[in-house]
Amino acid sequence: MILNILFGLGVALFGFVLQTALGGINRKVIARLQKRYGPKWYQEFLDIFKLLSKRATSHGWIFDFGVIMALGGIIATAMFMPITNELVAFDGYDNFFIFVYLIAVGMLGMAMSASGSGNPLASIGVMRALTTMLAYEVPFMVVVLTIINITGDSSISMIAEFQQLANNHWFIIALPLGGIVAILALMGMLGKKPFETYIAPAEIASGPMVEYGGKQLGMLFIMHEITVFIEVSLFVHLFLGGAENIFVFLVKYVLVYTFVNLISNVNGRFKIDQVVTFFYKWPLLLAVSQAIIAIYLGWVI
Amino acid sequence: MANLELIIIITLGFGMLAYLLGNLHRTLGSVITILGSAFVFGSLAMYGYTDTLDLTVNYLPGVLGDLGASALSHYFALLVSFVYLMVAFFNPYYIDKQKYPALYSMLYLLSLVGVIGLFYTTNFLAFFFYFELVVWSSLFLIPLGRTRSSASLYYGFSAFGGFSLLVAILLMYSGTESFNIALNLAALSGTTKVFVFLLMMISALSKLGAFPLHIWLPNVLTDAPDPVTGLFSGGLEKLGAFVAVIALVRLGGVGTMISALNIHLFNYIIMILGAITIVIGTLMAIRQDDAKTLLAYSSMSNGGYILVALGFMTTTSISGGLLHIFAHAIASTSAFLAIGAVARQTHTTKISELGGMIHKMPITYMVYLIAIISMAGIPPMGGFISKWLIFQGVISEGFIFVAIATFFGSIGSFLYVFRPLAALFLGQELPEYKTSVKEAPLLLLIPMLLLSGLNILSGVVPNYILRYTNKILSELNIAQLNLTQFTIQGNNGDLHPLLIASMFGIGVFVAFIIFISLKKSKKVDLMDTYTAGNFIYTEQHLHYTSNFYAPLERLYEAYIDKMQRFYQSLSIKVKELGEVFKYYFFTYKPEITVFWILILITLLLWGDIA
C-alpha cells in the first residue's frame, strides 16, 4: 500500500515536471509562431521556484487553507491517473468519475481561497470559471457516457486497453462527432482561447489569482500544471487509445497539448455568456447525436 | 422503549406535555421537543436497527393499530427521527420569535408522531390518516415564521396530493375490499394499476416538491421558521420519497414497455419529470438572493435525483436513490441549520446583506462547507457515492436526456452552493457584523457537528449504510448491491471510497508540508487588496454579492415566471369557480333562494307523480 501511495505521488510529480517543461517549450513554440524569440524552455520552473522562495502576504486562514486544499485535492486526483496500461498506482480504481469530481475539490479549494481574499475581482474570476465549467462539462460527460456505455467499463486504463484491442479504433476515430466535442471541451477545461474568459488578463486583472503572490501563488501554479496534466492525460486515455509504454504516452501528450495550444493562439476570446450558449448549441447537439448514433443505432466505426 | 405502539403514544404524551409546560415557560416546552424526539430516535436506533421492535398493539384504536416493521420503514423512520432530533436542538433558541411557543412545541412532536405512524403502518387508511396528520401539524408550523400566505400554498398542494392518495386508496379498496398495503399492491393490474400509480405519484411529487408541483417548496422553506426549514428539507420531504418508493419500486414497471429504452412508459415519464425537476431546481437556485430559498431549490433538484434513481429498476440506481435520500437529508439539514445559525446572529438570510461571517463563525462555516461538498456530490462526502451510483444506472441504460439533466444538475450545484459560501461566509467582513456577531452557542454546534460527522462518514465508509439498503433491496425482491468490506461494485467498475478519502488526506498532508516548510507569510487586512488604482475605503464596495451569476442568469431570465403564472391563473380560475358556486348556492339574495325552493318542490312533486 505504501508503495502504491509513493507511486501515486510519483505520478503527481511526474505530471508536474512534464507539464511545466512542456508549458515552457510551448511558450517557445508560440513565440516562434508570433516571430519572437521566446523565453528559455525552463522559464516556468524558474518562475515557480522563485515564487515559492519569496515572502508573501496572507488574507487570513481561509486564504491559506484554500490553497492547501486546492493543491491537496489535485495531488490526490493525479495519484489515480494511469500513465500507461501498467503504470497505475491503484489498479482498478481509476474510475472516470473520480477525475471529474475529485478535481472539483481542488477547484473548490481555490475558489474558496480566492473569495476569502476579499477582492471582488477574484470573485468575478471564480464566477466565470464556474460558469465555463457548467458549459463544457455537460457535452463532455455525454460523450464519456457514450464511451462507458460501449466499453462497459468506467476505469480509464480499461477504456484505453479497449481501444488497443484488435479491430477497435481509437475513440476519436470511432466516435468522430464525440471526438470534436471532446477537443472543444478540452480547450474549455484548459482555459484556452476562445474559452479563457475566466483568466482574461486584459479585463479582470488576472482573474481568480489577483490577490496571490509568493508561496501561495507558487502552489497554485503547481496545482494548475498538475490540473492540465490530468485533463490532457484524460483525453489521451479516453480518445487516443492510451499508451502501451511511456514513450507513446509522452508523444501523444505532447502532440495533444501543442495542438490545442496552437489552435488557441489564433483565436479571440468569447464573452462568458457566449461560452455558455456556444457549448449548449453545437457541442451538445453533436454529443447527443453521437450518443444516439452509437448507443441506439450501434454505428461505431 | 421496545414497543412501537407505546413509542407512538408516549410521543403523543410528550406533545401534550410540551404544550402544558410551554404555556408555563416557553423554553421548557422546546426542551420537551428535544427529549421527545431523542426518546423516539433512541428507541428506534436501539430496537429498530436490530429489528427487534415489539409490534403488539393494545391501545391504538381500529386501523391505526395495524403496525408492521420492515427494513424500509426502519431506514426512513431512523433517518427522519434523527433529523427531528437534530433540529430540536435549535428549538430553544428560536422559540422567542414564535407567537405561540407552546403550540409550536406541540405541533413539532405531533408531526413526529405522524411520521413514525406513516412509516410503520400496514394499513392504507391509517397511512392516509398519518399522512394528513403530518400535513396538518406541519401546516401550522409554517405561519409561525415570516408570512401566512405560504402556508395556504402548502396546504393547497398538500391537499391535492393527499386527496389523490385517498382516491388511489379507495380505487384499490374497490378491487380487494381491504386496506392492507401489501395485499393491495400485489393485487393491482391493468388500468387500475396505472391509475393508482399515477395518483400515488401525484402525492409523492407534491410532497417531494417535484415538477410540476414544486411551487410551494421554495415559498414554504423561505418563510417557515428557521428550524422548521431544516425539518422540511431533511425530514418531511422524504415522506414524498417514501411514497415514491412504494409506488415506483414496489409496483414495478407500469404501462407499456418501450422496447428501445427497455423501460415502462410511466416510469419513463416519472424519470423525465425528475429530470425537469433537476434542471429547474438548479437554474432557479443559481439566481436566488435568499440563502434559504437557494437551498430550497437545491432540495427540489435533489428530489429530482431521487425520482430519477427510483425510476430505474436496477440495483445500483435504487441503492443510489436510497443512499441519496440519506445523504441529502443529512447534508441539507446541516446546511439549513448553518444558515439558521447565521440568521440567529444577524437576523437576515439575504446573501446580499451578509459578508465575512467566517471570521466570527468559523465552525458554522466548516459545517456549511462540509454540507455543500456533499450536496454538490464531491468526494469524500456521502453525496458523491449516491450520485456515482445513480450515474451507474443512467450510463449503463444509456438514457441520454435524463443523463444531460443529471450531469447539468451536478455541475450546476457547484455554482449555487458556492454563492452563500463566497458572499455570505467569505468576502469582505461587513462593519455592521464586526462587533455584534459571535459564534453560535454550544447547543447549536452539537447537532451541526454531528451532522457534519455523518456527512463525512457516509462518504468515507458508505458500506455500512449500503449494507442496510441491501436489506431493503432484498425485501423488495431486487438483486443486492455487491459490496466487499470497503469497495462498492457498480455496473461498470468499482469504487473504493475509503481509498479516495485517504488519498485526499495524503494530498492535503503533502500540500500542508509544502506550505509550512516555506517562508511564513505576512498577515494583511482584508481591505488591503488590489483595486486597480481606485481608492476604496468602504467594505460594501469591495464585496461582490448580488447578481453573482448575472451573465448566466440573463440567458434564461425570460422564462422563469412561466410556471408561477400558470399556477396563478389556475388559482384565479378555481376562485372564479368558487364564486359561481357561492353565487348560486350560498347567498342571501331572496330570488335565488326562491328559485332553489321552486326547483326542489318541482323535483319533489315529480317524484310523487312518478
3-state secondary structure of B264: strand
Q: What pLDDT, in 10s, does the model give residues A230-242?
A: 999 999 999 998 8
**Contact B391/A97, CB-based, under 8 Å?**
yes
In the predicted structure, residue B157 carries a pLDDT above the cut 90 = no
Q: What is the pLDDT of residue B6?
A: 85
- Check pLDDT > 90 for residue A256: yes
pLDDT for the residue numbered B278:
92
Rounded distance, CA B557 to CA B95, Å? 38
Is B572's pLDDT higher than 70?
Answer: yes
What mean pLDDT do residues B406-413 have?
91
Q: Which of A147-151, B155-159, B559-563 has the lowest mean pLDDT?
A: B559-563
State the CB neighbour count (10 A cutoff) for residue B581.
Answer: 9
Say which residue, A35 or B435, is predicted with more confidence. Answer: A35
Looking at residue B180, what DSSP letter applies?
B
B552 and chain A in contact, CB less than 8 A: yes
Mean pLDDT of B137-166: 81
- Smallest CA–CA distance, residue B411 to chain A, in Å, is 6
Which of the 8 DSSP states describes residue B541? Answer: G
Residue count of chain A, please give it.
301
Mean pLDDT, all residues of chain A:
89
Q: Summarize pLDDT for B365-374 with one digit per residue, the tens.
A: 999 999 999 9
Q: What's the pLDDT at A206?
A: 65
Q: For B467-484, what is the mean pLDDT?
A: 86
- Which residues, numbered 341 to 380 in chain B, qualify as contacts with chain A under a Cβ-Cβ cut-off of 8 Å? 356, 358-359, 362, 365, 369, 373, 376-379
Give the residue on B whose Cα is nearest the Cα of A56. Answer: B521
The single residue listed with the C-alpha cell 509550512 is B516
CA distance A158 to chain B (A): 9
CA distance B322 to B476: 13
- Chain B hits for A107, CB-CB cut-off 8 Å, are 414
Higher pLDDT, B605 or B276: B276
Work out the average pLDDT over B293-297. Answer: 90
Inter-chain contact A116–B384, Cβ cutoff 8 Å?
no
What is the tens place of the pLDDT at every residue in B195-211?
888 888 899 998 888 88
Give the tens place of pLDDT for each residue, B538-550.
888 888 888 888 8
Mean model confidence pLDDT for chain B? 85
8 Å CB contact between B211 and B280: yes
Q: Which of A154-158, A220-224, B52-56 has the highest mean pLDDT?
A: A220-224
Assess whether pLDDT exceeds 60 at residue B610: no
- Whether B523 and A118 lie within 8 Å, measured CB to CB: no
Give the whole-angstrom CA distance, residue B336 versus residue A111: 22
- DSSP string covering chain A: -HHHHHHHHHHHHHHHHHHHHHHHHHHHHHHHHTT-----TTHHHHHHHHHHHS--EE-SHHHHHHHHHHHHHHHHHHHT--SSSS--SSTT--BHHHHHHHHHHHHHHHHHHHHHTT-HHHHHHHHHHHHHHHHHHHHHHHHHHHHHHHHS--BHHHHHHHHHSTTPPPHHHHSHHHHHHHHHHHHHHHT-TTS-TTT-TTTSTTGGGTT--HHHHHHHHHHHHHHHHHHHHHHHHHHS---SSHHHHHHHHHHHHHHHHHHHTT-----HHHHHHHHTTHHHHHHHHHHIIIIIS----
Q: What are A91-144's pLDDT values in tens digits?
A: 888 888 888 888 888 888 988 898 888 888 888 888 888 899 889 999 999 999
Segment B500-519 mean pLDDT: 92
ipTM of the complex: 0.93
State residue B435's pLDDT score: 81
- pLDDT of B351 > 90? The answer is no
Sign of the Cα pseudo-torsion (B106, B110, B116, B117, in order): positive
Q: Which of A115, A133, A159, A189 best tests the B interface by mutation, with the highest count of B CBs <10 A?
A: A115
pLDDT for the residue numbered A229: 94
The whole-number pLDDT of residue A202 equals 64
pLDDT above 60 (res B609): no
Has residue A257 got a pLDDT over 90? yes
Helices (H) and strands (E) in chain B, counts: 24, 6
**Average pLDDT estimate for A71-88:** 90
CB contact under 8 A, A71 and B507: yes
The angle, 0 to 180 degrees and rounded to 10, between the axes of the packed helices A214-239 and B497-517 is 150
Residue A70 has pLDDT above 90, yes or no: yes
Please indicate if any CB of chain A lies within 8 Å of the CB of B383: no
State the average pLDDT over residues B568-587.
83
Chain B contact set for A276 (CB, 8 A): 551-552, 555
Name which of A9, A102, A155 is nearest B500 (Cβ-Cβ).
A102
> Which burial class, exposed, middle or buried, applies to B537 when counting CB atoms under 10 A from its CB (0-12, 13-18, 19+)?
exposed
Share of chain B above pLDDT 70, in %: 99
Got the DSSP string for B505-528? HHHHHHHHHHHHHSPPPEE--TT-
Closest CA to B54 of B119, B122, B6: B6
A chain contacts of residue B521, beta-carbon cutoff 8 Å: 55-58, 64, 214-216
* Nearest CB neighbour to A137, from listed B356, B407, B526: B407
Sign of the CA dihedral running B341, B343, B349, B353: negative
Predicted model pTM: 0.91
| A157-213 confidence digits (pLDDT tens) | 888 888 888 788 888 888 889 999 999 999 998 888 888 887 776 666 667 888 888
Helical (H) or strand (E) element with B490: strand B488-490
Q: How many Å apart are CA B440 and CA B455, to the nearest integer? A: 20
Pairing outcome for strands B263-264 and B493-495: unpaired
H or E, element range at B497? helix B497-517
With CB atoms and an 8 Å threshold, state whether A145 touches B403: yes
Q: Which residue is listed with cell 432484498? A: B474
Name which residue leads in pLDDT, B65 or B390.
B390
B470 to chain A, closest Cα gap in Å? 23
A237 CB neighbours in chain B (<8 A) are none
CB < 8 Å to B512, chain A: 68, 72
φ, ψ dihedrals at A127, nearest 5°: -55, -45
Q: Which of A61-75, A272-286, B554-568, B596-610 has the lowest mean pLDDT?
A: B596-610
| Other Cβ atoms within 10 Å of A297 Cβ, number | 8
pLDDT above 90 for B177: no
Among the listed ranges A28-42, B91-105, B502-516, which one has the minimum average pLDDT value?
B91-105
Residue A228: what pLDDT?
93
- For residue B398, what pLDDT band results from cuts at 50, 70 and 90? confident
